[in-house]
Structure 1
Amino acid sequence: MSLTVREARSVDAQRLTLLLEQLGYPTSSEAVARRLKRLATSKADHVLVAELGGKLVGLATVHVSLSIEHDKPAAKLSAIVVDETHRRRGVGEALVAAVEAEARARDCCLIFLTTAERRKGAHAFYRRIGFEETGRRFARVLD
């Protein structure tokens, strides 16, 4: 079966909802469709999906932004998930490679990500493909 990485489309919303639930972000297909539509209007944000044999099995988003810390833009890799029945088959690596290609095309100086401390398997994956742990994330929910 061939693996393809492409931009997400609105028709992907239902399957993306299931992937987001596996990642720990329960949501609705309507909300995902609305967010995809909004993200599609942004030149700085991309939602990528991986298809294996015609089935959507992975998701990654990339957000490119300028900062005061760097002369060049940085790319944030977020919401990366591979369907639990398709892990360890190169899907995650293909998604990260596509994100890296996008970051290089946008002249980014680095790719960074945040991950929950409980995701030990994800941490091992990130280290294996060349990411280094550089700190912690703190968040504050705004009402």
Structure 2
Amino acid sequence: MGIRNAKISDWKEIMELLQQLDYSDTDSFLQEKIKTLLDHPDERLLVYEYDEKIVAFISIHFIPQVALKGDFARISYFAVDKKFRSKGIGREIEEHCAYLAEERKCDRIEVHSHSRRVNAHRFYCRQGFVESPKYFIKKV
């Protein structure tokens, strides 16, 4: 029970968690994406097991910075099964990621969270994150 590195064989459980975040139709490419992430030296893909079932996962990237002394970590995907929320699992995973970020000489963690994810915003604020408005995206 607890946090461990993800494996490609975890893809179905990760897919189910992504569906709870409204990311559907990932089954055709998810295994390949997980393999890419697991092979990348600046990426950690972690899962949380409870009673031999994956109930949460997080993807965190470590990004070197050229103009700043500290690097930064970015949480790109983070989901806790809705049946297991408010049990401290998200806090435990986020705190573990903060530890990993410090190990990698990062001085901050960023996360982008859609405006509709109000409960996630409350969680991040409780974890010490502060809002930093203005995020731009360009589709290519």
Q: Sort the TM-score into its range (normalised by shorter chain).
A: over 0.9
3-state SS of paired residue (2:84) = coil
Equivalent runs, 1:25-44 vs 2, <5 Å? 25-44=23-42
Distance across 2 between alignment mates of 1:140 and 1:27: 22
Please name the residue that 1:5 is paired with.
3
1:57 maps to a residue whose letter is V
Identity of aligned residues (%): 27
Which digits, 9 at most, give the CA deviation of each residue in 1:52-104, with x for residues without a partner? 12110001111001123421210001211101111101111111012111101
Please name the residue that 2:113 is paired with.
115
Unaligned runs of 5+ in 1: none
Please name the residue that 1:105 is paired with.
103
3-state SS of paired residue (1:141) = coil
Query: Alpha-carbon deviation of 1:112?
Result: 0.8
1:14 maps to a residue whose letter is K
Aligned length: 140
Distance across 1 between alignment mates of 2:134 and 2:2: 33
Question: Is the 1:13–1:30 contact (alpha carbons within 8 Å) kept by the matching residues of 2?
Answer: no
Please name the residue that 2:76 is paired with.
78
Question: Is the 1:6–1:49 contact (alpha carbons within 8 Å) kept by the matching residues of 2?
Answer: yes
| TM-score (ref. length: structure 2) | 0.94
| TM-score (ref. length: structure 1) | 0.92
Distance across 2 between alignment mates of 1:91 and 1:69: 35
2:49 maps to a residue whose letter is E
3-state SS of paired residue (1:67) = coil
